[in-house]
């Protein structure tokens, strides 16, 4: 389905900026924002509900290359602590 929208220049700029920060095309970013709407209307109230939501949208298990999450987190912390300052 194609839908045309007239956005104010301020809203277009705001959405474009957010999309570029995520390195996404504007149309894909807008689709993500719209698809996230039900989550915002009824956010999870417990950790169990949050994990269930993550599983339902495919976040849990989306990185099969990470076999040891704690080791991966240690490596990320180490990289962040020792990165070169510009």
Q: pLDDT tens for residues 70-86? A: 999 999 999 999 887 66
Question: pTM (2 decimals)?
Answer: 0.51
49 part of a folded domain: yes
Is residue 21 a part of any domain in this protein?
yes
- Name the residue range of residue 11's domain: 7-59
Q: In the chain, what's the furthest Cα-to-Cα distance? A: 48
Detail the DSSP E strand segments found in 1-86: none
Query: What's residue 38's pLDDT?
Result: 79
Instruction: Flag whether 39 is in a domain.
Output: yes
User: What pLDDT was estimated at residue 86?
Assistant: 60
DSSP secondary structure letter of residue 42? S
The number of domains in the chain is 1
In a domain, 1, yes or no: no
Query: Residue 80: inside a domain, yes or no?
Result: no
How far apart are alpha carbons 24 and 46 in whole angstroms? 30
- Structure confidence by residue, pLDDT tens digits, 12-61: 999 999 999 999 999 999 998 888 887 778 899 999 999 998 888 888 88
């Amino acid at each position: 389905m194609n839908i045309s929208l007239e956005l104010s220049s301020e809203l277009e700029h705001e959405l474009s900026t957010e999309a570029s920060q995520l390195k996404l095309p504007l149309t894909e970013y807008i689709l993500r924002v719209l698809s996230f709407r039900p989550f915002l209307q009824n956010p999870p109230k417990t950790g169990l509900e949050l994990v269930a939501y993550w599983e339902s949208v495919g976040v849990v298990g989306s990185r099969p290359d990470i076999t040891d999450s704690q080791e991966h987190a240690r490596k990320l912390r180490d990289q962040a602590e020792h990165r070169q300052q510009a």
